[in-house]
Structure 1
Amino acid sequence: MKYKAKILIVEDQYIEANNLEVLLRRAGYRVCSIARSVAEAVEIIKKELPDLVLIDIQLKGRQTGIDLGGLLSRKNIAFIYLSGNSKQQILDAAKTTRPYGFLAKPYREKDILIMLEVALYAHSENQSLNRPQSSAVDQKATDYLISDVIGQSSSMVELHKNIMRVAHSNVSVLICGESGTGKELIARNIHLLSPRCKNPMISVNCAALPASLIEAELFGYEKGAFTNALDKRAGRFEQADGGTIFLDEIGELPLEMQSKFLRVLQEKEIEVIGGTTKKVDVRVVAATNRNLQEEMVAGRFRADLYYRLNVFPLNSPPLRERKDDLPLLVNHFITKLSRIENSKVAGVSEQAMQEIMNYDWPGNVRELENLIHRHILLSGESMIRSFGNLTAQPAKPGSGTDYMRTIEEVEREHILAVLMKCNWKVYGPGGAAEILGIKVPTLNSRLKKLNIEKTGLKKNSRPYKS
């Protein structure tokens, strides 16, 4: 038998530790001596140099498994937590040590083996990211990023560095962030700065694809594979061969498709509907505005797929958390959009800038760009003097004091204002979806979630179209 990686088990319960050892040896892994405490684990690590450590969080002695996890993280040794305690406080503390996985007891043998495989793969890919980059690549990245991913705040500087660091690699990237923060733009930067830049980048919005068509859209089909399959069609993965595929809103994929997508990541091949399997060379960049860890706990997202995608996570920060970047963004959009619209608008007044700084931007950078675009089209002057009621803070009913609105309240007010401006037209030229810069299905979803209905309209108002 060809032996796999060497694993250290840190578990103070004899029966559980023994069961784990038997399971691992049967699967072909080498197992170090079993540690019962953090101190014992440290000594074994010095002598036996494991490739990965399985750690129970609750251990004998003063130190916990989380203490050991922090040490392993600093030493760049991969580890997975095993715990019978799934309280949020424990999970949050464990997460700060950057483990490669977390399994709650009781766990299945299959779960352990899948998690090990994914963790070892992710660790090896992360190791490859540590090779130095040339100054030419750094300069190219800096020039490109400054012109497209705008910001000089600490969070954006960190994001720029991480984009440059991961671009040259083939590892999967998961971009997390709210809607409107520029996740697709980040993905495009990664592609354009990579060795794959001369090949296509194919974008797929997983939320916009009907469940019945997702498989055909992603993997393609042969002529006659199903009714109305009149011709052979290449799927998005095949179209992206040699390049990058960007899967936006990956959290919306149905569980059945998650399983098939996992095979693509593992085997580097797709199964064409009505045809055979086909090898593809594709770099995967995915994005989500959902908390995928919560989705995993709820059983709506596969843990093995999450850890395959989350090899190199990137966070796209919301605009309200980097308001220092607002003047830079405003100047960028005014220059860009005035040129496109052949407008004489060259700046904003101090009052208008203050309005922008006081607003919380629930729609993030996309909302800011759309707002400036509208005012450039409406303005006949060289300066935008005001953005209207952006900073309005209504008093809470029945309260004698002002209160800070929630993000959903601000978003609801903004969408309502746009709908009223459009006479409640949702789609088409001049419709709310176009003005807000979002797709019609997304807007309809927000209308439902925010409980925005046509009740309360004037009698002659047209109902919104979906």
Structure 2
Amino acid sequence: MKEKILIVEDEFIVANDLKIMLLKAGYQIVGIASSVVQARKLIEDKKPDWVLLDIMLKGDLTGIDLAWELREIQLPFLYISANTNQSTLEAVKATHPYGFMVKPFRERDLIVMLDIAKYRYDQERGTLAEKSVDNEDQEIEGIIGNSELLKDVIEKIKIVAPAETSVLILGESGTGKERAAHSIHELSAHKSNAIVIVNCAALPHSLIESELFGHEKGAFTGANSLRIGKFEQADNGTIFLDEIGELPLDSQVKLLRVLQEKEIQRLGGNKTIKINVRIVAATNRSLEKEVAEGRFRLDLYYRLNVFPIQLPTLKERKEDIEALANYFLKKYATSSRKNVNSISSTALEQLKGYEWPGNIRELEHLIERNVLLAKTNEIEKFDLPTNTSNPLESNNGKMLSMEEMEKEHIMNALKICDGKVSGSGGAAELLKIQPQTLFSKMKKLGIKQGYN
């Protein structure tokens, strides 16, 4: 038998449905409590392993009050609630639950959330090594390196890939978020179907819903034919929503509906279309900060943040630089048909001593460029930016103005991105601003678009 679970829920029908689902999945239910007082007694008498906790309960105390008590006695818990009021959810977050599920939900989502919560709990207690993963020895193509930080990422990918739950990939620009999304898809049950890539930052606001959900013929001026949206294209597969933090609030509401109901409605249509899509989202922003500033819905954040995977920066895993450099060397020497097969020890030391603000993407571009420029079969040295001067001072020692600093910062970003402004790998992505904003700043500061 699996773990013993206490259900703390004041609605009998909901509590009974939970009990049936959990018993079916092999869990033991030690009781149902409708108040904090009842829950305390059952915890003392029955010694559950986990507590499923609603927020609004009978009596003067809430589930949040009980959560603080559970933390004191180190009893793991998860919230299951329909309450998505922002102030309440901020209080929920402060208790550090192992999961949060918004009602209504599907049986499968509940079981997956419990599995993931147990993984997090075991990871905290250091007992994860005792558990086995079915695809433990399986290689992940395109993820290169042996650092401990990377091994942790790979382990998380292997654990979450076979599940159906949503995944949120976090990391700076250039850390390999899209590669991680492909790996999750390739190790999942959906691998024989499509993975559809959507860069939310590149979608014009007026066309976001048409792109994501499609439109019927005549839905708006210019809609001369039926359009199948990205979610329908990804049916029975995976959709990767890159830069999810760029979605406007009205589109976030519709995405939340897709996550909850697994259905869409095309623009101009009145038919509901059921879909089976695995959602993997990514961002280089702090979604918690976006939520606090009112730009991202907290209920959507909790829906996506069931299983977060944080990708390390390249400067945090410098022991992987040599393996990555050799991987890119082989890749671009083959594609360009050049006989370049090694990197000198001096050049490798240069790579290891650099800070890599553009992360793996910057390294890849550097190797590609140097393979093309190489005159022998070895790359002897790299022309890397130097950061020895005080960034606040110009050559004559005078402090730079705000405008001069902004111009220099943008030009450095453009140099890292080989002059590319928008799209994946562009300076706008690196600077975490909209491409239109960057173009406007470049025009104001007199920076030419082709700057390199």
Instruction: Decide: shared fold, TM above 0.5.
Output: yes
Q: Say which of 296, 304, 324 aligns to 1:301.
A: 296
Question: For 1:159-178, what per-residue CA distance to the aligned partner results, in whole angstroms no more than 9, with x for missing partners?
Answer: 11111111111111111111
Question: For 1:200-245, what per-residue CA distance to the aligned partner results, in whole angstroms no more than 9, with x for missing partners?
Answer: 1111111111111011111111111111111111111111111111
Q: Which runs of 5+ in 2 are unaligned?
A: 17-31, 56-61, 120-130, 395-403
Write the letter of the residue equivalent to 1:282. Answer: V
Q: Which runs of 5+ in 1 are unaligned?
A: 10-20, 102-114, 400-408
Q: Name 2:350's counterpart in structure 1.
A: 355
Q: Name 2:214's counterpart in structure 1.
A: 220
Q: Say which of 90, 111, 116 aligns to 1:124.
A: 111
Deviation at 1:297, TM superposition (A): 2.0
Q: Name 2:74's counterpart in structure 1.
A: 71
Distance (whole Å) between structure 2 residues aligned to residue 6 and residue 172 of structure 1: 26
Write the letter of the residue equivalent to 2:355. Answer: D
SS at match of 2:296: coil
Aligned length: 398
- Decide whether aligned partners of structure 1 residues 118 and 368 sit closer, same or farther in structure 2, where only a CA change above 3 A counts: farther
Q: Name 2:276's counterpart in structure 1.
A: 281
Q: Say which of 445, 448, 452 aligns to 1:463.
A: 448
Q: How does 1:315-334 map to 2 (within 5 A)?
A: 315-334=310-329
Q: How does 1:187-336 map to 2 (within 5 A)?
A: 187-275=181-269, 276-336=271-331
Q: Does the 8 Å CA contact 2:200/2:246 hold for their aligned counterparts?
A: yes
Write the letter of the residue equivalent to 2:200. Answer: C
SS at match of 1:367: helix
Distance (whole Å) between structure 2 residues aligned to residue 186 and residue 410 of structure 1: 34
Q: CA RMSD in A?
A: 4.2
Write the letter of the residue equivalent to 2:194. Answer: P
Deviation at 1:249, TM superposition (A): 0.8
1:374 aligned to 2:361? no
SS at match of 1:234: coil
SS at match of 1:262: helix
Deviation at 1:44, TM superposition (A): 6.1
Q: Name 2:382's counterpart in structure 1.
A: 387
Q: Does the 8 Å CA contact 1:355/1:391 hold for their aligned counterparts?
A: no
Deviation at 1:42, TM superposition (A): 4.0
Q: How does 1:40-79 map to 2 (within 5 A)?
A: 42-43=43-44, 46=47, 50-52=51-53, 54=55, 65=68, 68=71, 71-73=74-76, 77-79=77-79
SS at match of 1:51: strand
- Decide whether aligned partners of structure 1 residues 388 and 45 sit closer, same or farther in structure 2, where only a CA change above 3 A counts: farther
Q: Name 1:15's counterpart in structure 2.
A: none
Q: Name 2:148's counterpart in structure 1.
A: 154
**TM-score normalised per structure 2:** 0.74
Q: Does the 8 Å CA contact 2:215/2:267 hold for their aligned counterparts?
A: yes
SS at match of 2:309: strand
Deviation at 1:281, TM superposition (A): 1.3
Distance (whole Å) between structure 2 residues aligned to residue 128 and residue 353 of structure 1: 42
Deviation at 1:35, TM superposition (A): 3.5
Tell me which of the two structures has the higher relative contact order, counting C-alpha pairs closer than 8 angstroms and 6 or more residues apart: 2
Q: Name 2:124's counterpart in structure 1.
A: none
Q: Does the 8 Å CA contact 2:8/2:39 hold for their aligned counterparts?
A: no
Write the letter of the residue equivalent to 1:332. Answer: Y
Distance (whole Å) between structure 1 residues aligned to residue 317 and residue 73 of structure 2: 29
SS at match of 1:72: coil
SS at match of 1:230: coil
Distance (whole Å) between structure 1 residues aligned to residue 115 and residue 263 of structure 2: 23
Deviation at 1:138, TM superposition (A): 3.8
**TM-score normalised per structure 1:** 0.72
- Decide whether aligned partners of structure 1 residues 257 and 398 sit closer, same or farther in structure 2, where only a CA change above 3 A counts: closer
- Decide whether aligned partners of structure 1 residues 170 and 155 sit closer, same or farther in structure 2, where only a CA change above 3 A counts: same
Write the letter of the residue equivalent to 2:111. Answer: S
Deviation at 1:301, TM superposition (A): 1.4
Identity of aligned residues (%): 39
Distance (whole Å) between structure 2 residues aligned to residue 391 and residue 70 of structure 1: 52
Q: Does the 8 Å CA contact 2:231/2:277 hold for their aligned counterparts?
A: yes
Write the letter of the residue equivalent to 1:377. Answer: L
Deviation at 1:339, TM superposition (A): 0.8
Distance (whole Å) between structure 1 residues aligned to residue 73 and residue 357 of structure 2: 35
Write the letter of the residue equivalent to 2:225. Answer: D
- Decide whether aligned partners of structure 1 residues 456 and 231 sit closer, same or farther in structure 2, where only a CA change above 3 A counts: closer
- Decide whether aligned partners of structure 1 residues 163 and 192 sit closer, same or farther in structure 2, where only a CA change above 3 A counts: same
Q: How does 1:83-102 map to 2 (within 5 A)?
A: 94-95=95-96, 98-100=98-100
Distance (whole Å) between structure 2 residues aligned to residue 277 and residue 163 of structure 1: 32
- Decide whether aligned partners of structure 1 residues 352 and 177 sit closer, same or farther in structure 2, where only a CA change above 3 A counts: same
Write the letter of the residue equivalent to 2:33. Answer: C
